[in-house]
Every structure is written in structure tokens, then in C-alpha cells.
Chain A
């Protein structure tokens, strides 16, 4: 899923400081699963903003709503009747949400309530970790199910670098050195030969480096299925 963290209350208060009536929109997709932009978080943010503004002596009116997904036009349309009743709107979705909303409702101001961080999953309750860099050319099988593009700080195709120590990445003591894990897994499985030789140059055109990406399913566009 797409993982996101909430922006600080301070930053959000600054965004809406000149507004007196706002709408906060959550999303039932990824950000609900990673507990950053679902109903609960929307309610808490709403209360926090109201409380802070009350303290400042400038009350604010806030309505809340949670859409099924903010990355889908049909759900975005659900707020068409009310969206212009507000001074501004905070989207509690990943970075797609505020953009889809802005594209559909050109006269409204949408603020991002979250910082979108990575593609990943929960490794334990309350902890999410990155697993995918969305490079567009998946070769996870080559590395026995562990992606060095996303999980090595230097995206090395031929690791580990000289900073690997006790299975930990030198850049962040909380991160495993994924190359240590790849090498150990290969060696334990008796597949050392997989690590002999140079892994070739990566074609980054399918990653963000090739420009903004687009995915087209002709059969769906044409309506043949």
C-alpha cells in the first residue's frame, strides 16, 4: 500500500490560519489501513484544529467526510454539491487525493494533510516499512524476494557496500542491510553462483527518471471487456 504520515498540527494550522470554515476529507484506502487518513484520524485532526483555534480566540467551523477512495473520480464526485461551501479543504489522502480534487474542483483550495512517504507494509503493529520503489522493472526474483533498489540506501545492484555491519545499514541503524540479507539467503540456499559476476546496468526509463508515467489498458479504454 501507499504509506503516509500526518503533517504536524502546527503546519496544518498555518495552512488554514486565514480560513474559518473548512472541510476535512479522509480516504478509506491505503491511508486508513496505515492509520494516517481514515475516519479516526480525520476526527482527531478536526478536534485538534478546533481546540487550537479556540485557544487562539478564532473559532473555526469544520465538517468531515471520508471518501471510499480519493484516487477515483467517481468517489471524488460525491462532494460536488458541498465542496464550494467551504473556505478550503484538507485532503487526508496520499498525494493523489489533493491533486484529483484540485483537478475536478478548480475554484477550491485543497491542502495536503499528509506527507506521502513510500510503498510498503506493516512489519509489526504500528510500524510500516518501505518495500517498493516503483521503478517499473521488477526484478525481485533475481534477489530472492528482496529488492535492493527500494531497500538499499544506494540502490546497489551489486552490494553490499563497505558500510554493511552486523546486518545493519550504515545510513540508518534501524534499517537492515538488505544486501546482507540477500547474500546470506543466497549462501544458505547454496546459490552463491547467483552472486558471481556483475549485475548489469539498470534501465531507469520505466522509473520516474523517464518522465511522468502513464499506464494504459487498451481493452478497458475501448470498452471491449
Chain B
């Protein structure tokens, strides 16, 4: 096996050719470590790494850096998310060094939800650099051992670099090229936005494979189980860049209310089965939003257990 870039479990799993399965966990709106640790237990052993979100939807929560370290203490591997909204390049580089020092080995580079969507819409945003530049910055720090100004880093941070991709945002024709740019910038793995429109995603992945992007980077398909028809309807209408076909909403509405959650999980399981076979897909990123306790059941029914020990 050639040299690992970070040595993270996720990197090893992917490199060994296993179908990766990652999860997601939002830190609490407070310093409630007990609550966070309870959520961790649903994910432990069921996923290869867990995304720790960074003040997602611009709502203030415990820092993703701190929560990532708490996760390591509980024996799970975090995928530390960092957004460009709240930090300039000085803070970003500082936190990257800190992340490595704390034992974090995966990092997902994001622009960040705009603060007007959050609970402090009066806030000033930063956006000194964007997600594309962030990817290249982490790569530069890791591979060249340099800060952005060219100065040497004393012990370079070794991180497995992740990036996001939303094939359902516009303009669609450009999305595959933007993905290519992220890979060119240095992304080792990609986690896509929640996929619901399978027809469109199949078309997107064909373009990805035709361009050979899947050979340069591991692509994990984003899956979010719908809790009920109301959630599907809400997301369809209110979340920009979210493509939810009417057929899915109809399918959820077609069963009794008490059975809608299971129908949502069934749809997610069908997706996972297809992703296992889909050309260019290296794994699934399961975003069970505030539904972490369902992860053990979903992982079991998706037949992705036990997770590989590498």
C-alpha cells in the first residue's frame, strides 16, 4: 500500500477498496457533553467516520473542533467540518494546525450556510477565502508543509481532505466541472448533498465517470432518510438546491402517517443498494438529521455491518 496522506480510518477504508459508510452528528446548542456522548453511541461501530458539523445553518453550537476531539475520546473518528463564513485565513490555518494536534485526521472544507439563515442574522461574515481555496490551502499545508505566505510549518498537519458537491444546484451543466476543480484543488474525498432525485444523480455520475473524476477522488453519495411526508415537503419548498421529486413525496403520503418514517428509511435503503453498485461511487454519507438513534437500524438493514477494521 502506498503511503497514506493522513492515516485516518476513512482513508484506509477507502484505500482498501471497501464501500465506505460515514455518518453525521451536529454538536449541541450548549456545552452539553453528556448529550453529545449519547449521540456518539448510536454512531459508534456503525460508520467509518462521523462528520461534525460547523455551526450548520449558521446556528450557534458547540465548536466542531471541540466536539471532534470529544468524539475521538469516545473512540470514534470525526470528519471535522470547517466553514469559511466565520474565520479568516489566519484563524483557518490556526484551527487546521490545532485539529491535527488534537488527533483529527479528516476535514471537510465548506463555504458555510449564509448567516442570514441562522439565529444571529445580524452577524458580520468573513469569507476571506472560499471553499475551493480552503481545499488548496489544506493541501498546501499538508503536502508542502507551508503556510499560505510560504513560511515553513513546524510539523505539517496531515489531514484527509474532504469537499462537498451539490449536483442539484444550478447551473447543472457546470456542476461536474466545479467538482473537477475541487478535486484539482486537492480534495481526496467528496460527500454529495442529500440525493433524492436518482434520475438526475445517475446522469450526473455518468458525466463524472466519463471525465474520470472517480479515479482521482473517492465519491460518497449523500443519503438522508425522510422522517415523514411533511419533512419532504418542507425541504422541497424551503431548502435551496434541494431536489425532491414529487414521486417521493407521493410515496410517503401514500402510507399511513405512523408508517411514513419506515417508508422514508426504505427509500434510503433502496438508494444505498443502488449506490453499492453504481459506477464511480465509493461509499455513502448518511445524514440522519437529528435522527442519530436510527443509524444502527439503518446500517444493519443496509447490510453495511460490521464496518471493516483496517
Chain A interface residues (CB < 8 Å from chain B): 153-167, 170-171, 177, 180, 183-184, 187, 192, 195-202, 204
Contact = CB atoms under 8 A, between A and B. Distances in A.
A198 B185 contact: yes
Given A165-B240, A170-B114, A183-B171, 7 more contacts: A153-B114, A157-B133, A159-B130, A161-B169, A187-B174, A196-B177, A201-B89
Nearest to B165: A162
Contacts of B106: none
Contacts of B79: none
A158 B181 contact: yes
B241 interface: yes
Nearest to B137: A201
9 contacts: A156-B130, A157-B130, A158-B130, A158-B131, A160-B170, A166-B170, A170-B240, A171-B117, A187-B174
Q: Is the interface of A mostly helix, strand, loop or mixed?
A: loop
A154 B89 contact: no
Interface in B248-290: none
B101 to A, nearest CB: 24
A173 B255 CA distance: 34
B127 interface: yes
Interface in B95-128: 111-114, 116-117, 125, 127-128
A158 B169 CA distance: 15
B173 A204 contact: no
Interface in B127-148: 127-133, 136-137, 148
A197 B181 contact: yes
The 8 closest A-B pairs by CB, nearest first: A162-B166, A158-B132, A170-B240, A163-B240, A156-B130, A162-B169, A183-B174, A165-B240
A198 B148 contact: no
B169 A163 contact: yes
Contacts of A199: 132-133
